[in-house]
Amino acid sequence: MIEAKKSLTILLASPRGFCAGVERAIQIVERALARYGSPVYVRHEIVHNRSVVEALEAKGAIFVEELDEVPDDRPVVFSAHGVPKTVPAEAARRHLLYLDATCPLVSKVHREAERHAESGRTVILIGHAGHPEVIGTMGQLPPGQVLLVEDVEQAESVAVSDPLNLAYATQTTLSVDDTVDIVAILRRRFPAIHGPKKEDICYATTNRQAAVKAIAARCDALVVIGAPNSSNSMRLVEVATNSGCARSRLLQRAGDMDWEWLGDNVRRLGITAGASAPEHLVEELIASCRHRYEVTIEEVHTSQEHVVFKLPRELVG
């Protein structure tokens, strides 16, 4: 006798997955391949997702860590996370054809940092050390003009030479809640500090975290599809855990699912995806669930997204 499948309700967070900056970056690589032929070189992962990188590699993209790996006669694309000023300067020195896929919302933070420096302010950057976006933002200004603060403890201890000429900016993919706490400490310690007119954390990060908050307390377990080096994906796991679903974890794709971890008692599974994770990975996980359970899908919408970013002029027309 065939045992009946247990029922599983999937609470599907929306919005999830690709944001406008990620879609733009991928389109830049694809259009560059169509216009210039293969190979097109890409400095660093265009976005933090192996599935995306492998798909572009199959089309003729070659991913490298530094410009010295790029031949003089081929185009190179800079990743969505942004790069220090030294990178386009070196590309220009070598007369390389380069295309900048930096997310416009990251470029906005770069411009803010530059404006503060021009006004004589030291910039405190709230972010994670070693993340490409942080490296790129800190690389917009000379050494020493940007101080990195990663958490509330560092916000309490950071030393500045001139508290009256100070500003802060943030990495775009941080936890909204954690950043509020850090900013509150900086404002208490340095009342004259300048902040952005509009918060630096991007709309997609904010929306995906809000969607996770909306479902977390209703879930027995929750899965975030994304890469371990994806800041926004890792923050979604943290947000889910802090919002009522202790059994939350990151998953790169369905084949990595630990079904024993899910267990026999899970009746409501939350699923979302980081901003650099393609929707087909969500569909793949749902299909795997259907093999094991009688699945009911409940999509929970918390906001609509209609943001589109323009492509570089060189690739239009």
Active site residues: 133
Peptide bond into 15 cis (omega under 30): yes
Distance of CA 50 to the CA centre of its chain: 14
C-beta separation of 218 from 11 below 8 A = yes
Residues in the chain: 317
Q: Which two tokens stand for residue 162?
A: 């001139």
Q: Give the CA distances from residue 257 to residues 222, 261, 288, in Å, rounded to whole numbers and listed in that order.
A: 12, 8, 9
CB atoms within 10 A of CB 81: 28
E-assigned strands of 132-284?
A: 146-149, 166-170, 221-225, 248-251, 268-273
CA–CA separation, 27 vs 315, rounded Å?
9
CA–CA separation, 216 vs 287, rounded Å?
22
Mark residue 60 as left, alpha or beta (left: phi above 0; alpha: psi -120 to 50; beta: remaining). Answer: left
